[in-house]
């Protein structure tokens, strides 16, 4: 294969990880990012004027201008907006599903319908519309208590879910979602440790990456509000040996086949978020793109060329791809978050410290440069710090060593990412 000009859409830690992986690949001749971020400049040409990533016409304009041979869509919003469809219609290879297929993340009700048809284990669910009466809402809560799972039935970037045993908290979230005009999805609570599995999917062909585990709560010991994710580790020492194979066979392949059957074949990255309960894996949710921050850890262990894998998926040749090769050992990523995250993160704080400019160890999720050229916080999740080692303990130690050298006033991070797995406290 000849070298390729590749455009990555997005500006966060996941996109930084994708660019890092693509940059290391001899198949890549030129990298571009839209809108990108200042920290990406050593890896790619940023196109900050193309910030409307959910505008298919603008993304097409840029892809044609730079003559992109492959476009990799990072976030979910452009996919649900149909960016991949418009690029494909113009003959540009895209890694990312069509607007129809992206409904697997864009609509929880759609995902439930697909899973029911494919006979995939998942939580029991019920939709509560914004015009439901107080009595109807109370009756629905009665059917799902005492452990309530309340979701916004739309795109919420991983932040639209409340899991609580406090009925008044569940009710508040229902009212908040309804006040924005969105329906709510109530779900039965799934027991068991969580698994994130990313799969490259091209029609009915499914190729899994390494399994990971995300930590959603803001603070140590899984306390505090749900976030987009505070850190992750890979692989999972507690997962049964055939765990990944079972998830592929019982979940991902049946869903891929069902999507083909519906005339909306899936092409891109299918993320399955699962709980491994007494009966095995059951789906909590699907995402239509690389999950953040698991991607940062998973891709850091990939030995095979990333550009080749993404391009094979995008061009319908995934079945011909050589089996993926992975480095031995473990990888951990820990998020440095801004003060006030997730409710109201404080922007503008200056970030200092050793390792800030080391893309092997520090990925930028929400930063920018101020007028004095300081790196400052520009989002809730500011940095992703990576550590790798032959053991999970060593990988954790390396990540935390870097974190301790970074300074952001009011910034915080969890100190227990991967710790329960390291201590052997997670079992199935």
Find out whether 281 and 273 touch, Cβ atoms under 8 Å.
Answer: no
- pLDDT tens-digit map of 161-170: 888 899 999 9
Same domain, yes or no: 25 and 62: yes
Quote the number of domains for the chain.
Answer: 2
Domain check: are 90 and 152 in the same one? no
Residues 130 and 67 in one domain: no
Provide the 3-class DSSP secondary structure of residue 285: strand
User: In the listed set 143, 161, 188, which residue is the last one of a domain according to the structure?
Assistant: 188
Residue that is written with structure tokens 């550009």 in the block: 307
Residue 1 has a pLDDT of: 55
149-158: pLDDT as tens digits: 898 876 655 5
In a domain, 358, yes or no: no
pTM: 0.90
Last residue of a domain, one of 166, 188, 210: 188
Full residue range of the structural domain in which residue 175 is found: 123-188
CA atoms within 13 A on the CB side of 83: 28
Please report which confidence band the pLDDT of residue 2 belongs to, taking 50, 70 and 90 as the band edges.
low
**Residue 64 shares a structural domain with residue 30:** yes
CA 158 to chain centre: 8
Residues 95 and 127 in one domain: no
Mean pLDDT score across all residues of the chain: 95
* 84 found inside a domain: yes
- Residue 69 in any domain: the answer is yes
- DSSP-based helix, strand, coil % in the chain, nearest 5: 30, 30, 40
Say how many C-beta atoms besides its own lie within 10 A of residue 261's C-beta. Answer: 13
Residue 346 lies in a domain: no
Q: At a CB cut-off of 8 Å and minimum separation 6, what does 280 contact?
A: 121, 246, 250
One domain for residues 62 and 146: no
Q: Same domain for 79 and 156?
A: no
Residue 157 has what pLDDT? 53
Pick from 108-112, 116-120, 128-132, 175-179 the range whose average pLDDT is largest. 116-120
**Buried/exposed code over 56-86 (b: 16+ C-beta within 10 A; e: otherwise):** bebbbebbeeeebbbbbbbbbbbbbbebbbb
**Which residues does 424 contact at the CB level (< 8 Å), separation at least 6?**
238
Q: How confident is the model at residue 248 (pLDDT cuts 50, 70, 90)?
A: very high
**Same domain, residue pair 141 and 88:** no
Percent of the chain residues topping a pLDDT of 90:
86
Contact between 99 and 105 (Cβ < 8 Å): no
Which pLDDT value is given to residue 123?
Answer: 87
Q: Residue 294 falls within a domain, yes or no?
A: no
Predicted confidence (pLDDT) per residue in 181-240, tens digit? 889 989 888 889 999 999 999 999 999 999 999 999 999 999 999 899 999 999 999 999
90 and 156 part of one domain: no
Does residue 259 register a pLDDT over 90?
yes
Question: Residues 90, 137: one domain?
Answer: no
Beta strands in 227-316 (DSSP E): 231-234, 267-277, 280-287
CA distance 337 to 43: 24
Q: What CATH number corresponds to the domain at position 138?
A: 3.30.1490.20
- Same domain assignment for residues 130 and 93: no
Nearest to 402 by CA among 412, 418, 419, 387: 387
Overall average pLDDT of the 342-361 stretch? 93
Residue 81 lies in a domain: yes
Is beta strand 381-389 parallel, antiparallel or unpaired with respect to 362-364?
Answer: antiparallel
Tokens of 409: 């006033």
Pairing of strands 28-35, 45-46: parallel
Of 45, 66, 99, which residue is a domain's last?
99
Bridge-partner residues for 212, per DSSP? 196
For residue 327, tell me if it sits in a domain.
no
Task: Say what percent of the chain tops pLDDT 70.
Answer: 98
Give the CATH number, domain containing residue 77.
3.40.50.20
- Is 221 part of a structural domain of the chain? no
DSSP-derived letter for residue 412 is B
- Model pLDDT, residue 109: 83
């Amino acid at each position: 294969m000849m070298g390729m000009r590749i455009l990555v859409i997005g500006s966060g830690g996941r996109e930084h990880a994708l660019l890092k992986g693509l940059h290391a690949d001899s198949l890549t001749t030129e990298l571009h990012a839209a809108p990108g971020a200042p920290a990406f400049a050593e890896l790619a040409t940023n196109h900050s004027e193309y910030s409307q990533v959910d505008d298919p016409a603008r993304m097409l304009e840029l892809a044609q201008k730079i003559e992109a041979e492959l476009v990799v869509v990072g976030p979910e919003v452009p996919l649900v907006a149909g960016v991949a469809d418009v690029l494909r219609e113009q003959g540009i290879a895209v890694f990312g599903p069509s607007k129809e297929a992206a409904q697997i993340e864009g609509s929880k009700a759609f995902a439930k319908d697909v899973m029911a048809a494919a006979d995939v284990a998942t939580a029991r669910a019920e939709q509560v519309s914004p015009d439901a009466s107080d009595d109807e809402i109370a009756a629905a809560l009665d059917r799902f208590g005492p452990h309530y799972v309340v979701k916004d039935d739309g795109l919420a970037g991983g932040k639209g879910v409340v899991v609580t045993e406090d009925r008044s908290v569940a009710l508040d979230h229902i009212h908040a979602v309804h006040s924005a005009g969105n329906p709510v999805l109530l779900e039965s609570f799934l027991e068991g440790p969580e698994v994130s599995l990313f799969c490259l999917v091209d029609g009915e062909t499914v190729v899994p990456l390494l399994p990971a585990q995300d930590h959603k709560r803001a603070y140590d010991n899984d306390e505090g509000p749900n976030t987009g994710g505070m850190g992750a580790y890979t692989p999972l020492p507690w997962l049964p040996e055939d765990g990944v194979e079972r998830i592929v066979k019982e979940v991902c392949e049946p869903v891929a086949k069902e999507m083909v059957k519906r005339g909306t074949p899936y092409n891109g990255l299918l993320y399955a978020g699962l709980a491994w309960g007494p009966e095995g894996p059951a789906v909590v949710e699907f995402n239509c793109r690389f999950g953040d921050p698991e991607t940062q850890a998973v891709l850091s262990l990939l030995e095979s060329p990333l550009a080749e894998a993404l391009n094979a998926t995008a061009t319908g040749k995934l079945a011909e791809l050589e089996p993926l090769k992975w480095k031995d050992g473990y990888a951990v990523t820990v998020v440095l978050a801004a003060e006030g995250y997730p409710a109201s993160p404080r922007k503008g704080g200056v970030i200092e410290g050793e390792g800030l400019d080391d893309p092997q160890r520090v990925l930028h999720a929400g930063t920018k440069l101020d007028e004095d050229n300081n790196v400052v916080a520009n989002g809730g999740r500011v940095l992703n710090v990576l550590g790798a080692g032959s053991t999970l303990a060593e990988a954790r130690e390396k990540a935390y060593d870097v974190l301790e050298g970074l300074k952001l006033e009011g910034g915080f991070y969890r100190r227990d990412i991967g710790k329960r797995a390291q201590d052997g406290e997670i079992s199935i």
